[in-house]
Chain A
């Protein structure tokens, strides 16, 4: 099944028009020695056969666990209208809107996305999206280095370990001096350690809110200190938390990035996701990625176009601000649909619901003999509990009872092998939490 519409008659007519006698002749430029007779790949299947095979593979995955697993990637409900609108061929079978007159739908949707990200983060401009929260943070590193002409980047210990390794890998050959601080004890970012790392070589300080362990912070004081040495403050944020928490822009953050998966994207085993990226006005021209701007057409009607393209690779080539061109437009569309459907009050309510469910779960788990809540400062929807046994082993036992109990921190923090990171969303009912607590008690 190749979706090729040509009939033998048409093929013959076209070959004759081209002036060749066979399809083989079209490939005359390929040196004889390299030409393939056929691929060592089995012949194609019909739709029914393919679907049956993939459906069987999907059943080898278990998605039915009651999940308390987060770590930056959350099991939120996705409104049906998100799936239905994002499945419109007019959106998903178009490409980058190079021809604005024929792409006003995509362009306006991206413009609305940029607007929503600005309103959520309290910053002045957002790009059309990047691959994921990790690449967005790595791009922020490069933006800060380009903007300050400095070479040292301080990574707070509260930044996701998944993102820390990504930043290390992507910037490895650029000669950047990465100062990585240890994970904070059970509270907010360690101000003393951060202050000690600040000096005139620092381009940026990277923090996360809530941090990897779920703790909520206010970086206003830190922003002042960072700005005092001429550096930029970069914060990776969880967008659902911005329904409630103080906005990074209001704290003095210069670049806010984050993972947009929780805004209407399925978990889908790690992607496709959505990296958002927002900056203060002064950094707009240093921002990576595509940007949509508003303008007028010849009749004076409002129109949207890709703009600030002078930053991009097709013009600047090796001097471009980033190598990222195409982004995650369809994922950004999903986030836009999600945020529109939730709206001003819906996102606030969602954030409060997550906080309250997490607080209930904390209280409930703390009642179990030997279990204590490690998080000392306020948390959002995720927190750390310490178990009287290796958390990885306990998680393994709970899988057999139908629970994904959380993320055992020992995977990244060997000294915290008994600690479990537990996440809550609006999808977990009180009954789920109660049953989970009972199962945990038994598993210990």
Chain B
């Protein structure tokens, strides 16, 4: 059946929700805004009933794959289960209903003690989890955390009286790393990956100069591999006055097993929507809290939450060396609240258990799938494993074809063509919340696909066939630029 847009459902004169009626005293007189300042007509929005809206968007929702309905092993995205208790907490009136300016009113801080306590306790838990000295919870996404961390690093070097211009980033890094560094005002210097899949130490040393402000590492890296030479990297960097930045996209691999702070990282961001199970929302909202060692503490964004001697909580705006304001208020509070709830639910034991099983699941897939797919770096991985479909591609079945065939088999595909350093990459992150039964059926599906790639390589072109639409013409989309109804 053709799926109309909400605009195509519109019927002139139809109404959805209605508004409270004005009292005669309020309704009196002409409209106080003169016509010259007003639009000629009401906005061109749809005219639909409440049921029209409910049915339309319910039907749209059914055209999605999601964690609730499908195994969703999208590499580097940590698509774990989103516990419902977190949603219930975030909807509480005492949290959802508070105005962010309230604590800035005289006496208003007393009215938001619960929210400030949530923020303060979340910071403390994240410090314990990562081995950092302090956190800012303000960054509103992972990339926003990267930008904040890099602004902190720039401020740190400036305060030392030696501004530095360069940031080293491995070629396996997420694309946001170099983009964030550029916006923070740095020049990006790529570092090669060595034959074992981790940073090429010689190349790193060759590129480390007195002008190197920081090195940004994802650990485990996007191949799912722990940076075994991290101690050497940290020593060389610190001896050079260079700071070490930890991209926490893959922190689900390390909880309770090792702390980035102990490894020598000076600044890091976490992705609440990955590691801490807050919902991905179809692409946001997330949260990207940033942790720092003591040397960077003076530069954290305004404001910070502090606990007073009498046990109450307050916001501190008096931070003369701060990089300033990167969010309008205290960050994505509703997301942080879910993360705090999750941290309390799991506790220290549960966080470690989560990591252990995320890693077990990834390794289980690695060993069970290596018969039918190439594993370019076939050694113990952490939370994700990167396969290559090069063998299949030689027969004409590319990574994208395998992804589409997986959709017909009832699975959301893994990340494809990333990291860029692996040809025909299939980056699989199962997460800890998936059962052995789910993994076994996923393995069976991939085995069948690999067999079919050998026997009938031509049979993939029309896949997926089970979805509301087949492969869309992306070239046409970019050429036509039809971006609105």
Contacts and interface: CB of A to CB of B under 8 A. Distances in A.
State whether these chains interact: yes
A90 B324 contact: no
B115 interface: yes
A344 B67 contact: no
A191 interface: no
B328 A355 contact: no
Contact of A43 (B279, B301, B347, B380): B347
B111 to A, nearest CB: 4
A102 B284 contact: no
Interface stretch (B94-102, B203-211, B240-248, B390-398): B94-102
Interface string A82-105: 011101111111111111111111
A267 B103 CA distance: 13
B333 A284 contact: no
Contacts of B63: 103-105, 108
A39 B352 contact: yes
Interface stretch (A44-52, A149-157, A194-202, A222-230): A44-52
Contact of A5 (B69, B285, B434): B434
Interface in A1-60: 1-6, 10-11, 13-15, 17-20, 23, 26-31, 34-36, 38-47, 50-51, 53-60
B403 interface: yes
B57 A400 contact: no
A296 B472 contact: yes
B42 A169 contact: no
B235 interface: no
A232 interface: no
Interface in B169-225: 174-176, 178-186, 188, 225
B159 interface: no
Contact of A42 (B18, B50, B66, B347): B347
A340 interface: yes
Interface residues of B, number: 205
A179 interface: no
A408 B107 CA distance: 13
12 contacts: A26-B360, A46-B345, A90-B62, A92-B66, A99-B407, A101-B471, A129-B284, A172-B151, A341-B53, A392-B105, A396-B106, A399-B108
Contacts of B85: 47, 50-51
Given A41-B343, A341-B50, A69 B99 contact: yes
B347 A44 contact: yes
Nearest to B27: A356
Contacts of A382: none
Given A104-B467, A105-B60, A293-B477, A112 B258 contact: no
Interface stretch (B3-11, B289-297, B444-452): B3-11
A339 B477 contact: no
A318 interface: yes
Nearest to A434: B25
A204 to B, nearest CB: 17
Contact of A134 (B327, B349, B353): B327
A358 B481 CA distance: 41
Given A295-B482, A333-B282, A58 B93 contact: yes
Given A95-B79, A266-B96, A270-B330, A173 B185 contact: yes
A444 interface: no
B412 interface: yes
A58 B94 contact: yes
A71 B72 CA distance: 41
A218 interface: yes
A382 to B, nearest CB: 13
Contact of A243 (B34, B37, B43, B231): B43
A99 B366 CA distance: 23
A329 B284 contact: yes
A267 B43 contact: no
A353 B17 CA distance: 14
Given A174-B183, A319-B182, A399-B111, A304 B472 contact: yes
Contact of A346 (B19, B66, B70, B230): B19
Interface in A252-273: 259, 266-273
A323 B179 contact: yes
A53 B344 contact: yes
B297 to A, nearest CB: 17
Interface in B96-134: 96-102, 104-108, 111-115, 117-118, 125, 128-129
Contacts of B14: 343
Contacts of B88: 51
| Max chain B Cβ within 10 angstroms of own Cβ: one of A57, A94, A124, A347 | A94
Contact of A14 (B89, B181, B436): B436
Contacts of B284: 129, 131, 272, 326-331
Given A4-B354, A61-B115, A325-B143, A244 B39 contact: yes
Contacts of B104: 407, 411
A352 B105 contact: no
B241 to A, nearest CB: 19
A29 B83 contact: no
B237 interface: no
Q: Which 10 A-B pairs have the closest CB atoms?
A: A173-B185, A270-B329, A169-B324, A58-B94, A44-B347, A330-B281, A60-B114, A272-B285, A270-B100, A89-B68
A147 interface: no
A171 to B, nearest CB: 9
B334 A268 contact: yes
A317 to B, nearest CB: 4
Contacts of A344: 42-47
Given A88-B57, A129-B284, A268-B96, 8 more contacts: A13-B436, A131-B327, A271-B329, A294-B483, A318-B179, A329-B284, A345-B42, A355-B33
Nearest to A43: B347
A294 B406 CA distance: 24
Contacts of A341: 16-17, 50, 53
B19 A353 contact: yes
Contacts of B259: 34, 36
| Max chain B Cβ within 10 angstroms of own Cβ: one of A28, A57, A310, A319 | A57
A337 B61 CA distance: 13
Contacts of A308: 478, 481
Contacts of B43: 119-120, 242-243, 247, 344, 347-348
Nearest to A6: B357
Contacts of B151: 169-170, 172-173
B61 A91 contact: yes
A85 B415 CA distance: 28
A320 interface: yes
Contact of A317 (B96, B178, B346): B178
Given A26-B359, A36-B257, A343 B97 contact: no
B239 interface: no
B263 interface: yes
Contacts of A280: none
Contact of B54 (A2, A35, A84): A84
A85 B185 contact: no
Given A330-B285, A346-B18, A245 B154 contact: no
Given A61-B111, A104-B467, A169-B324, A430 B25 contact: yes
Contacts of B258: 27, 30, 34-36
A357 to B, nearest CB: 6
A59 B282 CA distance: 31
A238 interface: no
Contacts of A83: 91
Nearest to A106: B282
Given A44-B349, A85-B61, A132 B328 contact: yes
Interface string B456-477: 0000001010011111111011
B344 A44 contact: yes
Contacts of A36: 256-259, 262
Given A41-B348, A95-B77, A323-B183, A343 B285 contact: no
